Amino acid sequence: MGKGKIDTLTIDAKPYAYTFPLKHTALLVIDMQRDFLLPGGFGQIQGGNLEPVQESIAPTRKLLDACRSAGLAIFHTREGQKPDMSDCPSSKLVRQAASPGNKQHKLVIGDKGPLGRLLTRGEYGHDLVDELKPLPGEVVIDKPGKGSFWNTTIMHKLKARGITHIIVAGVTTECCFATSIREANDRGFECCGISEATAGYNVEFKYQTLDVLYWSQGLFSFVASLQPLLDALSTVASSTPETTPEWDGDLSIAGLSKAYKAGLSPVTVAEGLYKIIEAYGQEHEGVWIHLESKDVVVEKAKALAAKYPDKSALPPLYGIPFSVKDSVDVAGLPTTTACPPLAFTPTVSAPMYEKLIAEGGLLIGKANLDQFATGLTGCRSPYGQPHSAFHKEYISGGSSSGSSVSVGVGLCSFSVGTDTAGSGRVPALFNGVVGYKPTRGLISAVGVTPACLSLDCMAIIAKNIDDARLVWQLTEGYDENDRYAKPSIGFERHINAIGPQAKAFKFGIPPPEALEICTPVYRRMFDEAVQRLQSIGGTLVSIDWAPFDKAGKLLYDGTFVSERLAGLPDGWLEQNRQHLHPVTVQLFDAVVARNSTAIQAYRDLQAKALYTRQVEKVFAYAASGVDVVMVPTAPTHWTIEQVNADPIKKNSFLGEFTHFANVLDLCAVATPAGTYPVKELSGNEKDDGTLPFGVTFVSGSRMDAELLEIARKFEGFA
Ligand code: TIU
């Protein structure tokens, strides 16, 4: 049996065999906290008998080890309230304590017990027992209730990882274990409880609870024994390497992580990578505004290797080289936004950057961009004009130009960019990489020099969808310091649109008249992409394109572009115009000359709200909606010479299919979709080489998980 080929496992279970797809399955370990397992905790007050729950620790550890070795996503939960008890309903404090003749519930949640305040976050008793401590990269969900889904981000985080199947363990069977399974069932997950890895304070209840879960041919879930699951998982467990591998040049996060687990040193990678970076730098300009020195990066790689000696417990971005657009703050390095008069050296880094470093990432440098993050060409920077990773005469795209080239030519694994009007998607297209712009407000945009503050969005430039998705998972999360952050808990759909059960989906495209703007080769390539999407289960449905079109025009033909000046001090333009890129001056002067009024701005805001409502109907919040809309990422690919000759018009042309996304609060991912001969675009038979084509998938607010799932299928089919 070829080990690498196994993608689903089947085990004996009740009421019948449980089949689960490995890539879409998580282990969920419920509340293995001191408060429930040790004397003096909350659990002893509830039930008294700690013996059965303590006996479940060892089998749960075996299960955890087996799931880790098999590479499953691991989720832990902890029950507990915020220290100020603002999330604790009074019923929890009163009902049991008020029971006539109560002697047992003398202490309630929040009261001080021997392990600290009962079920209170931050207390000793609230944390997980030592035997079941989470490893780096595993998710810990703090839940205020018995169920794992009430007022937590677990649904979002499971979907973000493409999870559809959950193996469930933990305490107590009758309480949080069962409640969580029931909640998961309502949301579409296929759960399987593991009998030996769960226990409660009442042994009879445990078996009654398990019986109820699978009663009536599986009312809520499956239930299985531990041993068959361990046997099945052992067939896919990763083996321990015997030799220390050399770096094979693979910069994908998955590839590098695998090599690191097998013993490759990040120092070897840093040294090898700098040879590539230096060689590229000798021939080509404009990728970096600040490149870290080789010595600095090698030292950081050494420090990482020393910090994480256990290769089985590496953080998810251990030794992964990345670049950061130079409008994003990294403490101690200047942030220029490609505009020297704006340059300053921050003392605090952007939260997104901090998260990447905390997960083991290795900064290579600050990447070039179109000045002010304004532009889609990559031609508007005093730090040089980088070119497409595919061809030296063709533009890199912008404004995340250096970010996209650095990933496209293999100088790092991924890059942090931004995307207000398409600045992450367009350059991804022109360099043959993925450019993902999550729903605005999911990743903190604090520490970014704004382009249009209310429309700015972080972007992730990566080699493939899985890498982009991982970086998103590791960096998203509500930031109270970001005024445009989305609340961490949003409306969520069930999970039918993700995972292997999602064999069919619906998609829309712009109507033919909207696609006319594309050059013939872009039309041809787009038609092929439509066919590809149909061949992987997509049904093409006609959609109302008007709100997309109108919202796109709002961005630059309306008043919103004035927001670019709102971020600068009054009089700044006049004082600094001689230091700015000539195209920036031209652009800003045009904005000022419009003399936009407050009345016009309000009309535009109202139109934005209307179009946003209208596109909600297009997407699958309703059964009639589509899962994604697919567009060509841009209508064509200009040469650097073409853009330099007519910089403003050529620029706005490129945003035809990207401008609307942030105005309408959508998520979007630019995905490579093949290459074509340069001569097909230029019409010159003598032109050699190929250029990349790509499409962008767009979906509704917070439908990122569904979006990425379809993009991944499309990519896998290439
Ligand atoms: N009371 C009880 O049995 N359990 C809880 O309160 N929480 C969990 O089950 N985790």
Q: Exactly one of 221, 406, 423, 701 is catalytic; which is it? A: 423
The DSSP code sequence of 353-406 is HHHHHHTT-EEEEEEP-SGGG--SSS---TT---EETTEEEEE--SSSHHHHHH
Q: What is the pLDDT of residues 645-678, one digit of tens each?
A: 999 999 999 999 999 999 999 999 999 999 999 9
423 catalytic? Reply is yes
What separation in Å is there between the alpha carbon of 351 and the centre of ligand 1? 35
What separation in Å is there between the alpha carbon of 146 and the centre of ligand 1? 7
Distance separating alpha carbons of residues 382 and 341, to the nearest angstrom: 12
- Other Cβ atoms less than 10 A from the Cβ of 259: the count is 22
Give the H/E segment covering residue 234: helix 226-234
Note whether 153 and 1 are within 8 A (CB).
Answer: no
What separation in Å is there between the alpha carbon of 115 and the centre of ligand 1? 16
Q: Is the CB of 383 under 6 A from ligand 1?
A: no
Q: Exactly one of 14, 92, 300, 325 is catalytic; which is it? A: 325
Q: Is the CB of 36 under 6 A from ligand 1?
A: yes
What separation in Å is there between the alpha carbon of 147 and the centre of ligand 1? 10
Q: Is the CB of 77 under 6 A from ligand 1?
A: no
Which residue, 313, 317, 270, 311, is CA-closest to 293? 270
Assign 3-state DSSP to the chain and report helix, strand, coil percentages, each to 5.
Answer: 40, 20, 40
- Can you give the pLDDT at residue 6? 81
Q: Is the CB of 201 under 6 A from ligand 1?
A: yes
Q: What are 225's two structure tokens?
A: 């024994």
Q: Is the CB of 146 under 6 A from ligand 1?
A: yes
From the alpha carbon of 200, which atom of ligand 1 is closest?
A: 3
Please report where in the chains the tokens 């309000």 appear, as a residue.
602
From the alpha carbon of 201, which atom of ligand 1 is closest?
A: 3
Q: Is the CB of 440 under 6 A from ligand 1?
A: no
| φ/ψ of residue 695, rounded to 5 | -115, 160
5 catalytic? Reply is no
What is residue 693's three-state secondary structure? strand
- Can you give the pLDDT at residue 1? 36
Please report where in the chains the tokens 């060689």 appear, as a residue.
279
What is residue 284's three-state secondary structure? coil
| Ramachandran class of 166: left when φ > 0, alpha when ψ lies in -120 to 50, beta otherwise | beta
Q: Exactly one of 399, 400, 403, 413 is catalytic; which is it? A: 399
399 catalytic? Reply is yes
- Can you give the pLDDT at residue 518? 98
> Residue 55: CA atoms inside 13 Å, Cβ hemisphere, count?
10
Q: Is the CB of 172 under 6 A from ligand 1?
A: yes
| φ/ψ of residue 531, rounded to 5 | -65, -40
Q: Is the CB of 389 under 6 A from ligand 1?
A: no
- Can you give the pLDDT at residue 557? 85
Please report where in the chains the tokens 């109108």 appear, as a residue.
550
Q: Is the CB of 176 under 6 A from ligand 1?
A: yes
- Can you give the pLDDT at residue 393? 97
Distance separating alpha carbons of residues 459 and 407, to the nearest angstrom: 13
Name the residue of 35, 172, 180 whose CB sits within 8 Å of the most ligand 1 atoms, as the mutation to test its pocket: 172
- Can you give the pLDDT at residue 242? 58
Which residue, 222, 196, 100, 87, is CA-closest to 150? 87
Q: Please calculate the CA angle 471-327-636 and round it to the nearest 5 degrees.
A: 75
What separation in Å is there between the alpha carbon of 135 and the centre of ligand 1? 24
Q: Is the CB of 318 under 6 A from ligand 1?
A: no
Name the residue of 171, 203, 206 whose CB sits within 8 Å of the most ligand 1 atoms, as the mutation to test its pocket: 171
- Other Cβ atoms less than 10 A from the Cβ of 545: the count is 18
CA distances from 697 to 84, 222, 311, 700 (A): 43, 35, 36, 11
Distance separating alpha carbons of residues 16 and 9, to the nearest angstrom: 14
318 Cβ contact partners less than 8 Å away, ≥ 6 residues apart: 257, 260, 266, 304, 308, 359, 360
What is residue 27's three-state secondary structure? strand
Which residue minimizes the CA distance to atom 8 of ligand 1? 176
pTM over 0.75: yes
Residues of the chain with pLDDT under 70: 1-5, 239-244, 491, 718
Dihedral sign for Cα atoms in the order 148, 152, 154, 159: positive
